[in-house]
Structure 1
Amino acid sequence: MSLTQKVIQNITTPGKYQDKYGLALRVSPKGSKAWIVRYTFDGERRDDGLGKFPDVSLAEARETAMAIRLSARKGIDPRADRERAKEVANSAFTFEDDANAFIERHRHDWSTEHAHQWEASFRDHVYPIIGKKAVCIIDTKIVISVLDPIWRTKSVTARRVRNRIERVLDYSKTLGHRDGENPARWRGHLQNVMTKFTPAPTPLESMSYIALPGFMRRLEDEDSRAARCLQFLILTGCRTSEAMGALWSEIDWEHSIWRIPAERMKGKEEHEIPLSQAALTVLKEVGTRGKSDYIFANRNYTGEMANNTLRRLMEKLGEPYTVHGFRATFRTWLQEKTDFSNELCETALAHVVGNITQRAYTRGKQLEKRRPMMDKWARFAVERMQPPVPRQGMNPVLASRTPILKPLQPFS
């Protein structure tokens, strides 16, 4: 007899239940239900799966079963026919489509900076070559065409790009947009074709704290919003993405605190930083308040600056250090020149302190203990700065400002 929706829902006994048009419902011992259709093509009897119930309804399964048996009677191979239809459907999904979808799906779990890195590497090195190609046709030769131009000249970037392509193609396969092995896989595949990495010279991780006051004087002479952002980053010990994405709404002027919401933090927990007088002066002089939500806004005041802005500033100043390395500079100075506890130092950097149980009982931000730390760091960083000489054509707001610090007591 023919199946009905109600009958199917009530079936619990494992077995095979026949319908019409060669269609049958197979029920597994675990209770899952799947459609199969039996037909004969070129003298061969076949059983093809049509999907699980209820993902594929009874009406849909019957319609597909009829179409398959009709194709077989006409001498058309149903499997080849369905494969062609699948290829046509999958051709609508380009690498750029799936890459963007993958990034959006993971954005919540990533830091803003990490998401920017994915987007920038695809924009600069991948999309121009395979962005518009259907993911179902991307093979090893195509992947190599992306990697070859940067394999020797930008070896670290190339390694990351390969890994990111592999992850996107795995994602595409999971969604059914492509089949087969992943052509970007390294182990046992691309490692047989691509030469070993010859690492390019990498920037020194961090500047010595001894050199920092002199560097801060040079930053003071830079008439740019990027320089103000880098000053603020150094004075607060924050991460690059946290400084560049800073919003005016995060500043508590009354208590001199910068509250960074959990969604912008690497550890997904709100972080509060006591602001020294030097850090507050940078904020008052940056010139974007009332023009943008972002403190260190881009030229059009529509969002934050490009994610490579601070790195380019370091290159302009001829400094071989990473921007992130200033956190290490801060941490080294704390360790070698102060008596603040390790717990307080780690808290200042928004690092996890203690095990899960200890953290459950230690929920305070220790703000008042950290405030002298940030003040002392600011005094050290700018202790010998002199008032800048106004330059012709300089931003009027910057030209009329006082230096980050007026004369201070020598650091001790």
Structure 2
Amino acid sequence: MALTQKTVQNITLPATYQDKNGLALRVTKTGSKSWIFRYQKDGHRHDMGLGSFPLVSLADARAACLELRVKINSGIDPLAEKHQKAKQTITFQDEALERIEHYKHEWSTKHAAQWFSSLRDHVFPKIGLMPVNEVDADAVMSVLEPIWREMPESARRVRNRIELVLDFAKTRGNRFEDNPARWRGHLQNILSGITPEVEHLESMPYSRMPAFMEKLEGDITRAARCLQFVILTACRSGEAMGARWDEIDFETKMWSIPAERMKSRQPHQIPLSDAAMGVLKDVHTRGRSDLIFPNRSLKAIMANNSLRRVLTRYDETATPHGFRSTFRMWAVEKTKFPDEICEIALSHSVGTATTRSYSRGNLLERRRSLMDKWANFVMECSNPPKTKGKDISIDE
């Protein structure tokens, strides 16, 4: 029996009540009422929502059913059509924010913030409100061309992030075309010819390191101690600034950095020289903070620019990260250590995953020799040899 407007108003028992032409009224336990349209397509039954009662009256629901029946008779699947229209309204910004939310538990807070800020500053103003399925090569180029020469490193990261967002959208079924942000065989044909040389972060010549370390020895600030630790361990500044006391094994003189704090998302161990252990002794925060180099409150890491301020204080143009290049150049020109050991010391991936798993253990002691020799070199002015004329040899 077909429903009437009065019947629909008076129904309270939870159930699904059939009308005609596939229209039905669904009543829930809470008393809410909504219209559904039931139809068969390719041997499968589908339920399509038409709105709630009384916002949608019985007459309006019946009229909507008749329109949908016409589409079905024309070979159109109304539910698939509805989903397709919904996908066309999903913007690039929607998909980008969804990807950040999806992966942020695997990222550091800093990395997630960098992802968002780069898209906010360079991408969203240009193509953020475009349907993600309509982003094409022209749209991608409108983002990249203004920054490709002026901000090459940022531009490369932005391109990569656009590509990842569009791949993410395709996997989720919200995009169907090829990725217009891919580099190989596509954007490289347009942008590689105008790519400037990568501007590397400025480093300090290794010949100046002993004199500079002597300056740091006379600096009583915690930031200076942290910068010394960065130099002596050849680590990234963020890894040192976030270092915790429970990561240090004082017996084996080893610093174990967990995967979540590493750029590579792989755990990394650094053998600590006597000079690096001396820095830990001089910082005087053990037992007062979980962090080795905390801020003044002892509760959080120091400001991001703390190490740069130390360099500025001494009129140095080098960057904290640049000391990794200083270490690498010294190792190449002044030692005979294999490249593999030097690269692993910088936490760079070497070889395959299998070869890395076999080499991790037996390279630690060889890396310890490398770090000891580096410490002896940079601390030369602070710790002059006690015995003149006697060579100090270190096993390479």
Mark yes or no: TM-score above 0.5: yes
Aligned match of 1:401: none
Q: Shift in Å at residue 202 of structure 1?
A: 1.5
* Aligned equivalent of 1:147, options 130, 144, 148: 144
Q: Shift in Å at residue 334 of structure 1?
A: 3.7
The answer as to whether partners of 2:133 and 2:177 remain within 8 angstroms in 1 is: no
166-175 or 106-115: bigger deviation = 106-115
Q: Shift in Å at residue 161 of structure 1?
A: 1.0
Aligned match of 1:175: 172
1:384 alignment partner, SS class: coil
Matched, 1:383 2:380: yes
Aligned match of 2:159: 162
1:210 alignment partner, SS class: helix
> What is the distance in 2 between the residues matched to 1:251 and 1:273?
10
1:234 alignment partner, SS class: helix
Aligned match of 1:42: none
> What is the distance in 2 between the residues matched to 1:308 and 1:266?
19
Aligned match of 1:23: 41
> What is the distance in 1 between the residues matched to 2:69 and 2:266?
64
> What is the distance in 1 between the residues matched to 2:179 and 2:154?
20
**Runs of at least 5 residues in structure 1 that lack an aligned partner in the other structure:** 1-19, 26-34, 36-57, 386-404
Matched, 1:329 2:326: yes
Aligned match of 1:48: none
Aligned match of 1:71: 67
Matched, 1:209 2:227: no
Q: Shift in Å at residue 287 of structure 1?
A: 5.7
Q: Shift in Å at residue 232 of structure 1?
A: 0.8
The answer as to whether partners of 1:242 and 1:265 remain within 8 angstroms in 2 is: yes
> What is the distance in 2 between the residues matched to 1:232 and 1:408?
22
**Given residue 326 of structure 2, which amino acid in structure 1 is its aligned partner?**
T
> What is the distance in 2 between the residues matched to 1:188 and 1:366?
39
Q: Shift in Å at residue 328 of structure 1?
A: 3.8
> What is the distance in 1 between the residues matched to 2:335 and 2:135?
56
Aligned match of 2:276: 279
Q: Shift in Å at residue 362 of structure 1?
A: 5.2
Aligned match of 1:239: 236
The answer as to whether partners of 1:21 and 1:69 remain within 8 angstroms in 2 is: no
Per-residue deviation, residues 288-314 of structure 1 (Å, max 9, x unmatched): 545653333456656545667656766
> What is the distance in 1 between the residues matched to 2:136 and 2:162?
12
Identical-pair percentage: 51
Taking structure 1 as reference, are residues 274 and 118 closer, same or farther at Cα in structure 2, changes over 3 Å only?
same
**Given residue 233 of structure 1, which amino acid in structure 2 is its aligned partner?**
V
Taking structure 1 as reference, are residues 295 and 167 closer, same or farther at Cα in structure 2, changes over 3 Å only?
same
Q: Which residues in structure 2 correspond to 1:265-276 (within 5 Å)?
A: 265=262, 270-276=267-273
1:215 alignment partner, SS class: helix
Aligned match of 2:5: none
> What is the distance in 2 between the residues matched to 1:328 and 1:255?
27
**Given residue 227 of structure 2, which amino acid in structure 1 is its aligned partner?**
L
Per-residue deviation, residues 13-67 of structure 1 (Å, max 9, x unmatched): xxxxxxx944333xxxxxxxxx5xxxxxxxxxxxxxxxxxxxxxx5xx2558x99
Q: Shift in Å at residue 381 of structure 1?
A: 0.8
> What is the distance in 1 between the residues matched to 2:108 and 2:77?
45
> What is the distance in 2 between the residues matched to 1:269 and 1:194?
32
Count matched residues: 339
Taking structure 1 as reference, are residues 342 and 149 closer, same or farther at Cα in structure 2, changes over 3 Å only?
closer
Aligned match of 1:122: 119
**Given residue 269 of structure 2, which amino acid in structure 1 is its aligned partner?**
E
Aligned match of 1:399: none
> What is the distance in 1 between the residues matched to 2:202 and 2:256?
27
2:361 alignment partner, SS class: coil
**Runs of at least 5 residues in structure 2 that lack an aligned partner in the other structure:** 1-37, 50-60
> What is the distance in 1 between the residues matched to 2:222 and 2:265?
27
> What is the distance in 2 between the residues matched to 1:174 and 1:328?
39
So what's the TM-score if we normalise by structure 1? 0.60
The answer as to whether partners of 2:213 and 2:379 remain within 8 angstroms in 1 is: yes
> What is the distance in 1 between the residues matched to 2:98 and 2:350?
35
Matched, 1:374 2:374: no
**Given residue 242 of structure 2, which amino acid in structure 1 is its aligned partner?**
G
2:239 alignment partner, SS class: helix
1:203 alignment partner, SS class: coil
**Given residue 211 of structure 1, which amino acid in structure 2 is its aligned partner?**
R
The answer as to whether partners of 1:286 and 1:295 remain within 8 angstroms in 2 is: yes
Per-residue deviation, residues 111-145 of structure 1 (Å, max 9, x unmatched): 88866653453354335665577645656665455
